[in-house]
Chains A and B, each alone.
Chain A
Amino acid sequence: MSQATMAVTMPDETLTPRRQRRREREQLPRTRLSAGVVTVIALLGVHLVVVLFPFVWMIYSSFKTNQQFQQSVWSLPSSLQWDNYATALADGSLALYAGNSLIVTLVSVLITVAIATAAGYAFVVYRTRWMPLVEIVMLVAMAIPAYIALVPLVAIIREMGMLDTLPGVILPTVAFNLPISVLIMRGFFATVPRDLIEAARIDGASELSTFARVMVPIAKPAMFTTAIVNVIWVWNDFLFPLVILNSPERKTLPLGLTDFVGERTTNYPVLLAAILLAALGSFLVYLVFQRHVIGGLTSGALKQ
């Protein structure tokens, strides 16, 4: 992808995001309402309804009684059954699963970002002869689906004594999220003026302190962006928990949710409430850190 899409979004620090957005909007050309424009708006509107209506339906259906839900699919709830949420939380171990997900997410994201920052820095600063080879390794690793060597991977985790433990999920998760994170960080360091890096390296006592005292502070926004997209990827991950975790008390949220839905087949609005609660985490992260999510997804596109 082009260099420009690779650049990590770095909001202008002198402006608040809101004011910056307003300024951007003022610079936009006025939209003239011709027939073509109206058609485009209408088409997009209809398409967005198709894309998002299932979510809207999930939200209002989760407040129905089971009887009402099965009687009519479309109708709005006659009264809000907050009980469904209480039941979903009480019957399932959703809070427990969410806790496990939180541990897995926080630990793997911290490790991933720390390692990726160091590696991304090395890619830009040290142009040794073998560096292109390492870059190719990263690119190839990025394209390899995690499931290809799934059986040997689980065997290795078992040999390490980490089967059915959270570290057993965290380590391979870090490994498979590293290549893309390294490339995002490399993309950032490539935008740092070369002179700045060289000056810091000449002044600095050692290479390591140059990195830790000068480069890491500069890289904080990019590290944060990398962290946020990783939070979403890890929080949503299903494959590694599925093959590594077994005990109900260790399961992560996506894995536990499939159990919950499989076990309770009778009270559908409660199931919808549970799905909604499980979806809430990553949605809130997106809502709060929108710019970072979009910046990270754009620069980290080759992952997914």
Chain B
Amino acid sequence: MTSALSDRARRGGLHRAKRRESLIALLFLVPALAFLAIFVAYPLANAGMLSFFKWDGFSPREWVGIDNFVRLAADGVFWSSLRNNVLIAVAAIVFQVGLGMVIAYWLVRVIPRFKRAAMFLYVIPVVISEICIGLLWQFVYNPYFGLLNGFLRLIGLGDLAKGWLGDKTLAMPAVLVVMNLTYLGLYILLFVAAFQDVDESVYEAASLDGAGHFRTFFGISAPMIASNVQATVLLAVVTSFKTFSLVFVMTRGGPSNATDVISTYLFKTGFGNFEAGYASAIGIAQLLITVIVGVFVLTATRPRRPKTIKEVAR
């Protein structure tokens, strides 16, 4: 009887201690959660609501139901922008994740003496503002005194010289080149860190086996860091869908929407044409697409050992 009572009392105390701990934890988290609520969640909810309205940002809103989404489905520029985002993502997976992995392997396993210097150099474009990089590459691609045309003339291919960013078919590849050269360093960094975590003894077994670098890379190194590869592919895709500054500063989405991505198209719709409702619909559509693609990437690149989302995002 007494023991049951004290047991309940103890449990009550424990319960109270737990609640107190919960409260303290909340206090530590409140500033962060408040910022996220006001500047991320609330605007997002607002965008969700606005996507059903026609609004110029000033005059009263006008309810239009799903008209914005109907318009979106038939909007060629929206789809070409989305296609450019996908193109950027695919190029990033090949030329940033893939190439970054190979270069990182070289630096860690083949020429470790040059690892630090090479990493230092590759990371330079990563830390410089995209605005500076974009403006600089405008000079590189300039039709009259650009570095690229100068190079083509130097090697006798002057006929190929042109205004790269002004050409509808060439502008997007030109932007892709800049992106892939600029962000590669980050992926080299990530893969160098991942390869260094692989235990040396694994390689010793391989070298006893007489495996060359080609076989070691595909047979040992790559599988050993499978979860890193998955996280990095996800990172590349998410980053590709976030891209704005570099495209905006180099081409503003032009010529005639050829290099528009969702972000630049949304910016022009919302802040150039003052179509707040339609811009919000574009944003919401993009959010859904990001989620779907993210889940697809997670399932498509799942390593043999199952991982939860939480682990991957580390």
List of B residues within 8 angstroms of A278 by Cβ: 129, 131-132
Complex Cα–Cα for A7 and B245 (A): 30
A6: Cβ under 8 A from any B Cβ: yes
Complex Cα–Cα for A154 and B267 (A): 12
Interface size class of A (residues with CB under 8 A): 35 or more
Q: Which residue of A lies closest to B283 (CB)?
A: A148
Supposing A152-B280, A301-B186 touch, asked if A54 and B266 sit within 8 A by C-beta, the answer is: no
Complex Cα–Cα for A128 and B22 (A): 6
Interface size class of B (residues with CB under 8 A): 35 or more
Complex Cα–Cα for A48 and B111 (A): 15
A227: Cβ under 8 A from any B Cβ: no
Asked whether, in the complex, the Cβ of A239 is within 8 Å of the Cβ of B245, the reply is: yes
Asked whether, in the complex, the Cβ of A54 is within 8 Å of the Cβ of B140, the reply is: yes
B197: Cβ under 8 A from any A Cβ: yes
Asked whether, in the complex, the Cβ of B186 is within 8 Å of the Cβ of A128, the reply is: no
B43: Cβ under 8 A from any A Cβ: yes
Chain A 212-248: CB-based contact to B (< 8 A → 1; otherwise 0):
0000000000000000000010011011001100000
Asked whether, in the complex, the Cβ of B194 is within 8 Å of the Cβ of A5, the reply is: yes
A275: Cβ under 8 A from any B Cβ: yes
Binds B, one of A77-85, A86-94, A129-137, A192-200: A129-137
Asked whether, in the complex, the Cβ of B111 is within 8 Å of the Cβ of A236, the reply is: no
Residue in contact with A298 in the complex, picked from B50, B128, B189, B279, CB distance below 8 Å: B189
Asked whether, in the complex, the Cβ of B32 is within 8 Å of the Cβ of A116, the reply is: yes
Asked whether, in the complex, the Cβ of A151 is within 8 Å of the Cβ of B280, the reply is: yes
Asked whether, in the complex, the Cβ of B129 is within 8 Å of the Cβ of A297, the reply is: no
Given A150-B283, A235-B129, 19 more A-B residue pairs with CB atoms under 8 Å apart are: A1-B190, A2-B225, A6-B314, A28-B112, A48-B118, A50-B181, A51-B122, A54-B136, A118-B28, A119-B32, A121-B28, A126-B22, A126-B24, A141-B40, A148-B47, A238-B131, A239-B245, A304-B183, A304-B235
Pairs across A and B, CB under 8 Å, 14 listed: A5-B314, A6-B314, A44-B118, A52-B124, A55-B136, A74-B154, A114-B31, A128-B18, A144-B44, A175-B38, A176-B39, A254-B131, A279-B128, A294-B123
Give A contacts to B, CB under 8 Å: 1-6, 21, 25, 28-29, 31, 36-37, 40-41, 44, 47-48, 50-55, 57-58, 69-70, 72-74, 114-116, 118-119, 121-122, 125-126, 128, 130-132, 134-137, 139, 141-156, 171-172, 174-176, 178-179, 182-183, 187, 207, 211, 232, 235-236, 238-239, 242-243, 253-255, 257-258, 261, 268, 271-272, 275-276, 278-279, 282-283, 285-286, 290, 293-294, 297-298, 301-302, 304
Give B contacts to A, CB under 8 Å: 18, 21-22, 24-25, 28-29, 31-33, 35-36, 38-40, 42-44, 46-47, 50, 57, 103, 106, 110-114, 116, 118-132, 135-137, 139-140, 144-147, 149-151, 154, 181, 183-184, 186, 189-190, 193-194, 197, 213, 225, 227-228, 231-232, 234-235, 238-239, 241-242, 244-245, 248-249, 263, 266-267, 270-271, 276, 279-280, 283-284, 286-287, 290, 294, 309-310, 312-314
